[in-house]
Amino acid sequence: MSSKISDVARLARVSLPTVSRVLNKSKYVSEELKKRVLNAVAVLNYVPDDNARSLSSYKSNTVGIIVPVLNNSISRFINSCSTTLEESGYDLMIGKSGGEIKNELELIDLQLSMQVSGVILVSSHHSTKTAEILIKEKLPVVFAYNKAPVSGVHSRYFDNNKAASTLIASIPDIDSKNVYILSGLSDDTICNIRIEGFLKILENHNNYKIFQCDGTLEDGYKAAKNILNAEKPDILICLNDLIAIGALRAAYETGIKVPDEMEVTGFEGTSFFQISTPTLTTVIFDDYLLGRESADSIVSLIKGNEEKELEIFGYKILQAESCRLSI
């Protein structure tokens, strides 16, 4: 069926290693032979077998990415990783953990068995166990979207803490407002970091409350509805855009005018901010940037270069109709 390196060698009247050398540009081969080899490759439509190649060379050109789920923001991230990795000649193997450590560990086994050259791990809650396994394997790895749970591992993420502080600090008169925070799940590290950031500014503020939902649009809507039926926040700080969009709908249905009667803010997660009514004041992170940087780092690590262990990326606060800011 498909031809192999020996077929090419025979047709080009050279030895196997010569074919290999031409294809991998690993050693100098005379122009004459090189031409014969390339010609034979073209004639036979030869495609090297990556499995055999990886097996004998202990190298693979595959990078694994493990994500909890393929949402909007992670899709942008992967898109960007993919572009960068392709430029460097790497393929992408994607695993979806559903956010469960058990699956994450299985996926790592899977990718280890594929001899991936490196792994980019996306999680809102990086597991120590995962990190330890990866370290033990001495596999190049980049933790994205969140800081690695142990040191000595490379992390690339956004400065959620500072973003949260800055957002709160730019809300005029925050001290005189009763503040409601609507968070995602309590085991979501990123949510917790954002809350920490909020509280840094709110520490002398004695009129705030924190509520929880599961972080989806639907549950954000439900939770907000419950809150608004019982209480009267001046401002509702939502831990992501989906929650915020749900809250906007809840406010609308409850007859509460945003921002006049209540302000609402979101936080990165989608790009819905520009479409909602009112448009959503939120924090924007550049997933493409993070993807590119993470991919660059993993490539660099694979090649054995030194890389900064931590890189933390900035944010942009987008002022829109749902909450006026003083910036």
Partner DNA sequence: ATGAAAGCGCTAACAA
Partner DNA sequence: TTGTTAGCGCTTTCAT
Query: Nearest approach, Cβ of 240 to its own copies (angstroms)?
Result: 14
Contact 99, 74 (CB under 8 A): no
Instruction: State the chain's maximal CA–CA distance in angstroms.
Output: 85
Contacts to DNA by CB under 7 A: 4-6, 13-21, 23-24, 26-30, 32-34, 46, 48-49, 52-53, 55-57, 59
Contact 183, 211 (CB under 8 A): yes
Query: Nearest approach, Cβ of 294 to its own copies (angstroms)?
Result: 15
Pick one of its own copies, DNA, none as the site partner of residue 87 (Cβ within 5 to 8 A by kind).
none
Contact 8, 19 (CB under 8 A): yes
Among candidate residues 309, 291, 287, 315, the one with its CA nearest the CA of residue 155: 309
Contacts to its own copies by CB under 8 A: 1-2, 47-52, 54-55, 60, 62, 69-72, 75-76, 78-79, 82-83, 86, 91-96, 109-110, 112-115, 137-138, 245, 272, 275-277
Contact 10, 4 (CB under 8 A): no
Which C-beta is closer to its own copies: that of 15 or that of 277? 277
Q: Other C-beta atoms within 10 Å of 92: how many?
A: 16
Query: Nearest approach, Cβ of 133 to DNA (angstroms)?
Result: 18
Query: Nearest approach, Cβ of 306 to DNA (angstroms)?
Result: 23
User: To which H or E segment does residue 33 belong?
Assistant: helix 31-44
Which C-beta is closer to its own copies: that of 43 or that of 55? 55
Pick one of DNA, its own copies, none as the site partner of residue 4 (Cβ within 5 to 8 A by kind).
DNA
Query: Nearest approach, Cβ of 177 to its own copies (angstroms)?
Result: 26
Which C-beta is closer to its own copies: that of 36 or that of 76? 76
Strands (E), the chain: 62-67, 91-96, 118-122, 141-144, 154-158, 179-183, 208-212, 235-238, 263-265, 282-284, 310-313, 316-318
Which C-beta is closer to its own copies: that of 86 or that of 196? 86
Which C-beta is closer to its own copies: that of 55 or that of 327? 55
